[in-house]
Each structure stands twice: as C-alpha cells, then as structure tokens.
C-alpha cells in the first residue's frame, strides 16, 4: 500500500504592495495610448456624423454594455466559487447540486442565447440594413473611388473632374460611392460617415456616404494592402452645396499654364522627364495614370494619401526623395538636383 505523504502547507504568499502598485501603473501606461488613440480623434467610429454611423456607434455601445454585464457576471460567479471553495476541515457549504445545475443552464445557455439573438437581430435586421449600399435612385451624387497601392483615385462621373485622396461632397446629401481597385484588395473606410467597403479588383461595391454637418472627415484603408498600407489615408470634405459646386467646376477644368519663369522651367522639366510618364496633368502632354492626377494638385491640403501636408517644403521633400517619406512607395527617387526640384515645386504650386 502506498503511503501518501502530506505536503507541508504552502507558506502564505506575501502581497508586496509596492510591486502591485508598480504593475498597476505599468498596466495603465500600456492601456492608455490604446484607449486614447483607438477611440478618439478624427477617425473615430464613436464620433458619428451621419445617421448610419450613429446606428453603428449605438450598436457598439449596446454590445459593450451586454459584454460588460456578461463579463461581470462571470467574474462574480468565479468570485463566488472561490469564496465557497472546499476548505479541508471546514464543512462545505456549496453542496447543492440542483442549484449548481440550474446556474449552468441559466448562465451558460439561457443568458448567452438571449444576448446573442438580441444582438444578431439588432445588427442584421436594423443596423446593417439601414447602412447598406444605397439604391442609385435614392442618392443625389455619384463618386467613383479606385484604390491603388497606396493612394485613392477619385472620379466624379458625368464631369471631367479627377482628383486623388481628398474627396469633396456636399453636406447633407446622399452620395453613392462606387468602390473598386486597380491592383490588390483595399477597403474604403471613413469611420464617422460610413461603414467599411472592400475595394476588389474587377468588382464594383457601393457604399452610402453622408455627412450630417460640414467638416473634414479622416479615413483609412482598412485592408492590409502592402508595405505602405498604413500610409493610405483619405479625407472627405463635406461642404455647403454652393462651395462644393464651385470646387467641382474648378476640378473639371484643365490645368492653368505656368506663369512665373521658375514655374515655366518646372513645367518643361515635368513634361520632358519621367514625371510625365507616370502622372496626368490635363491640358498638357502629361497623360499617364500610374500616379495621381496632378491637374489641381495645389488645391489639395495633403499629399501622398494624407501622409504629409501640401506645403512647398513638404512637396520639395517628396519630389527629392519620396521613399524617405513613404517607404516602399511606387514613386521612385529620381535623383534630381535642388534647382530642378525648386522649379518643379514652383510649377506644381501654381496648379490650383
Ligand atoms: Cu490599401
């Protein structure tokens, strides 16, 4: 017969208050940026500016609430189990099997079923339906957006306007966005205005874009699409219908001709160098479509899919070495002299 050796009781763990405090501080430190970056600011799903994103945010809060109740319930039951644990020598107070079985049924089957069915119904019957692709007849404006590695091409069907990365729409107007891709799968996402929509090569998807109030709404490609994916931002400008119309009328026009001597040199250089083999400037011999249309590049607020501001200095830095700004990007470093870059910047700055 085996003899069972009694283990000596484990020494009670001493709780080191200082260590706990340090761990807590570390936890807060690690969590704080996630909370601040993920849930606030210009790209937040929780700051909706359209009826459909409002519903999405509400659904999110309801899911958080339901999950919090379930989580706290589970933690409470664990605590209860621990308080009522079997302690040798003491009478066990939890010897009620009928009660235990009932709790398993209620907390393990009934509550999850009710919560999941309610959330499924709210999400599918209500939120997804009301944020779904619009029927073209219910919209007032159509915009075509084409994803590229790593920028957005933007067309306004029925006009000759073409632009990149900055989409203007009239405020309080239902806009039908047709989304597709020129290369890999991207995803068009402007969290405060619309739900996500995948951009798939050879396929056209639709999403309703609507802004309840004027403003600039940030967006981001949300489908990993290669090295510069994180630098594939987009901006939506929702403005009064009159200023939208004048913006669109300007976009539809061909480029202005260069005026200043420096800008004229820049224009000649642009047309005779590799720039013109990748970019289009409407009204000039530059007709290529590898990179963004630059016909009115000076009227944008940002460059390189919102990676940098559109200032003379940033533009010069971009033309000098795009790879230093957006590594892996499809625009090569062309080894231009400082003088050539200055001429090109003078030219592009005139393209309002
Ligand atoms: Cu992308």
Q: What is the mean pLDDT of the chain?
A: 89
Model confidence band, residue 35 (pLDDT cutoffs 50, 70, 90): low
Residue pair 50/211 in contact by the 8 Å Cβ criterion: yes
Give the distance (Å) from ligand 1 centre to CA of residue 226.
Answer: 7
Q: Do domains 136-252 and 261-349 have the same CATH topology?
A: yes
Give the distance (Å) from ligand 1 centre to CA of residue 227.
Answer: 10
Q: Where are the domains of the chain?
A: 44-85+95-132, 136-252, 261-349
Model confidence band, residue 122 (pLDDT cutoffs 50, 70, 90): confident
Tell whether the torsion through CA atoms of 186, 224, 207 and 248 is positive or negative.
negative
Higher pLDDT, 163 or 2: 163
- Domain 261-349 CATH superfamily: Cupredoxins -  blue copper proteins (2.60.40.420)
CATH class of 136-252: mainly beta
Which of helix, strand or coil describes residue 320? helix
The pLDDT, as a whole number, for residue 4 is 52
User: Got the DSSP string for 245-287?
Assistant: HHHHHHHHSPPPPP-SHHHHHHHHHHHHSTHHHH-B-TTSS-B
Give the distance (Å) from ligand 1 centre to CA of residue 181.
Answer: 9
Give the distance (Å) from ligand 1 centre to CA of residue 95.
Answer: 58
β-sheet bridge partners, residue 209:
175
Beta-carbon contacts of residue 273 (< 8 Å; ≥ 6 apart): 334
Quick one: which of 46, 27, 49 has its CA closest to 38?
46
Distance, CA of 148 to CA of 18 (rounded, Å):
53
Distance, CA of 52 to CA of 208 (rounded, Å):
9
Give the distance (Å) from ligand 1 centre to CA of residue 235.
Answer: 14
Output the CA–CA distances (angstroms, integers) from residue 234 to 99, 117, 125, 156, 223, in the order listed: 57, 36, 30, 16, 14
Residue 1 has pLDDT above 50, yes or no: no
Give the distance (Å) from ligand 1 centre to CA of residue 154.
Answer: 14
Model confidence band, residue 312 (pLDDT cutoffs 50, 70, 90): very high
Residue 290 has pLDDT above 90, yes or no: yes
Give the distance (Å) from ligand 1 centre to CA of residue 167.
Answer: 16
Residue 85 has pLDDT above 80, yes or no: no
Beta-carbon contacts of residue 97 (< 8 Å; ≥ 6 apart): none
Residue 248 has pLDDT above 80, yes or no: yes
Residue pair 251/157 in contact by the 8 Å Cβ criterion: no
Quick one: which of 183, 173, 176 has its CA closest to 152?
183
The fraction of the chain above a pLDDT of 70, given in percent, is: 89
The pLDDT, as a whole number, for residue 33 is 58
């Amino acid at each position: 017969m085996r003899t069972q050796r009694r283990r000596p009781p484990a020494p009670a763990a001493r709780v080191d208050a200082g260590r706990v405090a340090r761990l807590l501080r570390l936890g807060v430190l690690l969590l704080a940026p996630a909370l601040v970056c993920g849930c606030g600011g210009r790209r937040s799903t929780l700051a909706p500016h359209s009826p459909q994103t409002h519903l999405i945010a509400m659904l999110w809060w309801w899911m958080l609430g339901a999950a919090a109740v379930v989580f706290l319930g589970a933690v409470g039951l664990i605590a209860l189990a621990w308080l009522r644990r079997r302690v040798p020598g003491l009478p066990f107070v939890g010897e009620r099997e009928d009660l235990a079985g009932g709790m398993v049924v209620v907390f393990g089957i009934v509550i999850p079923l009710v919560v999941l069915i309610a959330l499924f119904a709210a999400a599918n019957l209500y939120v997804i339906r009301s944020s779904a692709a619009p029927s073209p007849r219910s919209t007032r404006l159509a915009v075509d957006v084409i994803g590229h590695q790593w920028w957005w091409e933007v067309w306004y069907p029925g006009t000759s306007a073409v632009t990149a990365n900055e989409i203007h729409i009239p405020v309080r107007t239902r806009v039908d966005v047709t989304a597709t891709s020129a290369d890999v799968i991207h995803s068009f996402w402007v969290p405060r205005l619309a739900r996500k929509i995948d951009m798939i090569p050879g396929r056209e998807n639709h999403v309703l874009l609507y802004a309840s109030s004027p403003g600039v709404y940030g967006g981001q490609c949300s489908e990993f699409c290669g090295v510069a994916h994180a630098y594939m931002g987009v901006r939506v400008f929702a403005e009064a219908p009159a200023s939208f119309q004048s913006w669109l009328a300007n976009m539809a026009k061909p480029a202005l001709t260069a005026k200043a001597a420096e800008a004229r040199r820049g224009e000649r250089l642009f047309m005779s160098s590799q720039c013109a083999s990748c970019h289009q400037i409407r009204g000039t011999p530059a007709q290529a479509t590898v990179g963004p249309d630059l016909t009115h590049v000076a009227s944008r607020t940002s460059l390189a899919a919102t990676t940098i501001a559109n200032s003379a200095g940033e533009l010069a830095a971009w033309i000098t070495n795009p790879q230093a700004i957006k590594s892996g990007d499809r625009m090569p470093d062309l080894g231009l002299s400082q003088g050539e870059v200055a001429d090109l910047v003078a030219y592009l700055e005139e393209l309002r």
